[in-house]
Amino acid sequence: MTVQQARNGNRWNLNLVQHLSVQAEQEKQQLMQELNVYIVDQEEIDQLSWKWGLRGKFTVKTSYEAMASGPYIENCIAKIWKLTAPMRILIFGWLVIKNRILTTNNLTRKGWELPNICYLCRKEAESVRHLFHACNFSTLLRREITVKIPELNNCQFFQSGSFKAAILSSKLTMVRQMQLAFCFILWKERCRWLFQDKMKNIEAVGEEICQEYTSWNLLM
Ligand SMILES: [Zn+2]
């Protein structure tokens, strides 16, 4: 398979890779999820970018910081620690970005025998991408929050962008903080429903996300 074959307009198309093992197919799906965050514009000229600096600019200071943190530190991982939230929630956000939270998808990949189903919509497998982006419940919840905070209405990094994309690319602190609050409370509610069999409606969960987000502003 060539790079040209793998390109499909502005997106990558890896569906040409077939006859994979279950493990390899899952890894392909995960790679697709990560690649879909990046849209390649063929009209745009390639440029060099320093991944540890603001807006891709090289500075001696960031090069020392990169050396101190290790050469392979990921930019978004470094950025997450700059958010204002309790440490346990920052660690949760780090786990989301690394796709390490215990969704049923991740558990079945580790060999657990579970029905791989999203507990919120009960329609699709529960992965990080599904839970926080594609799930119907998640979509309705984002809509509920934009009613409460209209500034988020036209913000692509809140409406459809992933937490990772928001951390990497959004210039608005509000969006980065809100994405973290969104993921954290949604996951908390998902676990509450799973382990305590109690359900809140979308309006109540939306209210809880806004309260969580507002409480972090007091830490600034
Ligand atoms: Zn779902």
Cα 105 to ligand 1 centroid, rounded to whole Å: 12
Q: How far apart are CA 13 and CA 5, in angstroms?
A: 8
Given a cut of 80, whether residue 16 has pLDDT beyond it is: no
For the chain, domain boundaries:
3-35, 48-73, 81-217
Q: What is the pTM of this model?
A: 0.66
Cα 199 to ligand 1 centroid, rounded to whole Å: 14
55: left (phi over 0), alpha (psi -120 to 50) or beta: left
At 88-111, the pLDDT tens digits run 999 999 999 888 899 999 999 888
Q: Between helices 202-217 and 173-196, what is the axis angle to 10°?
A: 130
Residue 10 has a pLDDT of 66
Cα 6 to ligand 1 centroid, rounded to whole Å: 29
Give me the chain's average pLDDT, please.
83
The number of CA neighbours under 13 Å toward the Cβ of 110 is 10
Given a cut of 70, whether residue 187 has pLDDT beyond it is: yes
Cα 64 to ligand 1 centroid, rounded to whole Å: 43
Give Cβ neighbours of residue 177 (< 8 Å, ≥ 6 apart). 83, 84, 85, 213, 216, 217
